Amino acid sequence: MIPAAFEYYRPKDMEGVLAVLTEHGDDARVLAGGHSLIPMMKLRMAEVPHLIDLQDVAGLGGISVSDGTVRLGAMVTQSDIIADAVLADAAPIMREASLQIADPQVRYMGTVGGNVANGDPGNDMPGLMQCLDATFTLIGPDGEREVAARDFYESAYMTAREDDEVLTAVSFKVPEGGYAYQKQKRKIGDYATAAAAVQIVKEGGTCARASIAMTNLSDTPVYSEAAGAALVGTSVTDSDIDAAVQAMLGDIDPAEDNRGPVEFKRHAAAVILRRAIARAWSRA
């Protein structure tokens, strides 16, 4: 499996990246960890005549937590996320989710920027970013702009990012309360059959706020506002969780594939969300 030939660029700064993107439009793509793009190029399902490697571009790394905001540079890897003690303290759901992505070798290469920007409904970070109400920073020839994660995904592989833009960072408010990222997959390295990201705030024995998002159950990640709302004001009993699950089932739209028929996916989504809510609540 050899990909089609391409011109390779390894610029040292964003100006260099944008210059190639501007010149070649959608004939150019940026390469972060490459573990989504390279397999597609090898299968010749993606043809990239101009490949821009971001590894030497300054300013795309780093995890910071300050003034109640978490910021991750686009080139932060899943392995970096797992190893970062400050992040694990501020937003433990990031570590819990990263540990469930692919395998150790892939996690050394796979980046948060690539995971969210690729627009693959199977990726875990987009759903997680819905749950955390994250903001994505994009840079293009006209400068920088910010897009809410909840407005970013249009359909599979189609996002609000323009062809001449690069996603440079993700940021979100330090999440409060209990958390869980729960994922059902057939084997190590597979995408989710169903996964759920949950953050719950408990005040005096009742749920004050809840944020719920689902992965790989539609052609975009699904933020289920209704599922979160079903829990607010309740003491999160089994019947309250059932109501949240019913609300979530109204928001997802899974397609049949080699992970199973639609009914099975809806069943798996319900089981996974029930477990995720129970676990997040127990940690709240």
Partner 1 sequence: MSKKMHIQLTVNGEAQEFLAEPRELLIHTLRERLNITGPHIGCETSHCGACTVTLNGKSVKSCTVFVAQADGAEITTIEGLGNPDKLHVLQEAFKEHHGLQCGFCTPGMITRASKLLEENPSPTEEEVRFGMAGNICRCTGYQNIVKSILAAAAEMSASKEAAE
Which residues in the chain belong to E strands, given as ranges?
7-9, 28-31, 50-53, 63-66, 69-73, 135-140, 143-148, 153-155, 158-159, 166-173, 178-185, 192-203, 206-215, 222-223
Contact region for partner 1 (CB under 8 A) — 38-46, 61-69, 85-93, 194-202?
38-46
Contact region for partner 1 (CB under 8 A) — 96-104, 144-152, 164-172, 195-203?
96-104
Contact region for partner 1 (CB under 8 A) — 7-15, 60-68, 215-223, 274-282?
7-15
Give the total of residues touching partner 1 (CB under 8 A): 28
**75-94 footprint of partner 1 as x/- string (CB under 8 A):** ----x---------------
Among residues 66, 69, 105, 246, the one that binds partner 1 under rule CB under 8 A:
105
Q: Which residues contact 98 (CB under 8 A, 6 or more apart)?
A: 78, 79, 81, 82, 107
Element (DSSP H or E) covering residue 217: none
- Minimum Å gap between C-beta 31 and partner 1 is 8
CA 73 – CA 71 distance, rounded (Å): 7
Q: Does 267 bind partner 1 (CB under 8 A)?
A: no
> Which is nearer to partner 1, 113 or 178 (by Cβ)?
113
For 63-129, the DSSP string reads EEEETTEEEEETT-BHHHHHH-HHHHHH-HHHHHHHTTSS-HHHHHH-BHHHHHHS--TT-HHHHHH
- Minimum Å gap between C-beta 275 and partner 1 is 20
Q: Does 156 bind partner 1 (CB under 8 A)?
A: no
- Minimum Å gap between C-beta 76 and partner 1 is 14
Contact region for partner 1 (CB under 8 A) — 14-22, 105-113, 232-240, 275-283?
105-113
- Interacting residues with partner 1 between 170 and 189 (CB under 8 A): 188-189
* Count of C-beta atoms within a 10 Å radius of residue 10: 14
What amino acid is encoded at 264 in this protein?
F
> What are 149's two structure tokens?
């994660």
CA 160 – CA 176 distance, rounded (Å): 28
Q: Does 216 bind partner 1 (CB under 8 A)?
A: no
- Interacting residues with partner 1 between 50 and 79 (CB under 8 A): 51, 53, 55, 79
* Count of C-beta atoms within a 10 Å radius of residue 282: 12
State residue 187 phi and psi, 5-degree precision: -160, 165
CA 236 – CA 43 distance, rounded (Å): 47
Q: Does 282 bind partner 1 (CB under 8 A)?
A: no
Contact region for partner 1 (CB under 8 A) — 18-26, 49-57, 175-183, 238-246?
49-57
Residue ranges that bind partner 1, judged by CB under 8 A: 1-8, 10, 31, 34-35, 38-39, 42, 51, 53, 55, 79, 102-106, 108-109, 188-189
